[in-house]
Chains A and B, each alone.
Chain A
Amino acid sequence: MSHIQDIPITVLDRQGSQAQTGNVLPILNEIRYALALLVAKGTSTTIDLSAIPFAPGDREELERILGQGEVSALIDALGETRIRETDYRGVWLVSHHSPQGDNLATQIEVTRTPSLVSTPEQDIPDAVDALDDYLNSQLTQESA
């Protein structure tokens, strides 16, 4: 067990023990508002969960309510970023992790596609170049 996060924390009795802060519902309301904004104006919203005071179990409760949608994505660049669409379409849960798996930040993105999934603009010409390099190298091999 090399990380403190590996210690499993399970909330046994939400009502009886550490009761909710009541921050789950406000966030759901904020998501609802962001969704409406997305529909009306096409504006995306990102909510940073690390700025929200959560009681033990609140975070899990929020994730349980949001549920698991159809799309999951794993970005493996500088550590892992796990992206999943929730049961509520257009609401995405984005969590950044260090290469060691520590959670660095978790955000809720209310958008069509989380920005991190899209290919960065400058990467595309780079990809053309890279592919050209490969094809050229093949050509060179053939001609050789």
Chain B
Amino acid sequence: MNNDKTLGEHLRERGISRRGFMQFCAATASLMALPPSMVPAVAAALEKARRPSVIWRSFQECTGCTESLTRSHAPTVESLIFDHISLDYHHTLQAASGEAAEEARRIAMEENHGKYLLVVDGSIPQKDGGIYSTIAGITNLDMLKEVAEGAAAIIAVGTCAAYGGLPYADPNPTGAASVSDIIQDKPILNVPGCPPIPTVITGVLAHYLTFGTLPELDHLGRPKAFYGQSIHDRCYRRPFYERGLFAETFDDEGAKKGWCLFKLGCKGPTTYNACATAKWNEGTSFPIQAGHGCIGCSEPSFWDRGGFYDALSVPTDDAGNILLGAAVAGAAAGAAVGFMNRNKKDAATRAHETVTVDDLNGD
């Protein structure tokens, strides 16, 4: 594939009409969560967009993120984008393997030095020199450093790459770290989620492809367009929260009526993601719609933030012992102070000499 072609040319080469291109632009704008009024701008940008080289590296991960992406469907907007980008290395998806695959990667890195986009899924073990995850004898840590060096930008796909994710969970035996823990000198965009919503991954890629820049990010490095609002704020069950109607168990009347799942531990209020609007499985549903609270999988350390079934307002651990200890200590200290108080008062009482009128200094 010729890297010099623009996307417009590329599509027309494939026999896509101008009207088809506009269809594509409308769908892409929607995918990027841009307002429909932006479609002409998207069209203008896409027409001229150049084909970027993309290297995808998978580290300490479960392939769930890639599954999410590929599970989507046959040629669609996303796949068109993927057709257009040059996915020069993805060890799960590419046909080549072993030395040939590594060779392809090295070539892509050299040819596109300073220009390629690096996509990472999985966390990076750092403990003991990073030996807990290696590919072709090279540790993930070394590989990330090597491949990041020539990248224009890095997209950390999935909570593991973005924040450490599951491997980072206490006690983090491999010393797992996120991409941004290791690489500080490159623009990094996080697409957290376990896994992330596939349209969000492609939406971010589309944005980079369209405008050649990373979209606006929040304080956790997430694109605001998708992570700008909490699940709770966009949840169709929100009205039940406002009215104080909650499912108390997973099979009670409230659950059947689709009431708010807050009391069943839904982390929607503190989880920022697009699940409630983008939804999953081609817009079919999302966990809350299926009757289960959000577990907050796109938030840092979600695995260690208390029970999935404990309401947000409930303390994360059972403080029974501490509380008992405090009560005992309070009673003991109280008894001690009480003892001192009694002594002091008794001493005052013992020292009491009967007061007579001569003691009053009246004159």
Contact = CB atoms under 8 A, between A and B. Distances in A.
Verify whether A and B have any Cβ pair under 8 Å.
yes
Interface of A: 3-5, 7, 9, 16-19, 21-23, 46-48, 50-56, 58, 75, 77-79, 81, 96, 98-100, 102-105, 107, 115-116, 119-120, 122-123
Given A77-B19, A120-B18, A122-B18, A4 B284 contact: yes
A102 B289 contact: no
Given A19-B258, A53-B277, 9 more contacts: A4-B281, A19-B240, A21-B237, A50-B278, A55-B237, A56-B289, A78-B20, A104-B77, A105-B31
B36 A98 contact: no
Q: List the 4 shortest-distance A-B pairs measured between CB atoms, nearest first.
A: A77-B20, A46-B36, A78-B20, A105-B30
A116 B285 CA distance: 29
For chain A, what secondary structure do more than half of its interface residues adopt (helix, strand, loop), or is it mixed?
A: loop
Given A4-B282, A78-B21, A48 B239 contact: no
Contacts of A56: 236, 258, 285, 289
B36 A102 contact: no
B76 A100 contact: yes
A75 B17 CA distance: 11
A48 B236 contact: no
B73 A77 contact: no
A77 B36 contact: no
Contact of B73 (A7, A100, A123): A100
Contact of B30 (A4, A21, A100, A107): A107
Contact of A99 (B29, B75, B236, B284): B75
Interface in B25-47: 26-27, 29-31, 33, 35-37, 39
Nearest to A53: B234
Given A78-B20, A107-B26, A54 B236 contact: yes
B33 A51 contact: yes
Contact of B236 (A16, A23, A100, A104): A23
Nearest to B22: A116
Contacts of B258: 17-19, 55-56
Nearest to B282: A102
B31 A78 contact: no
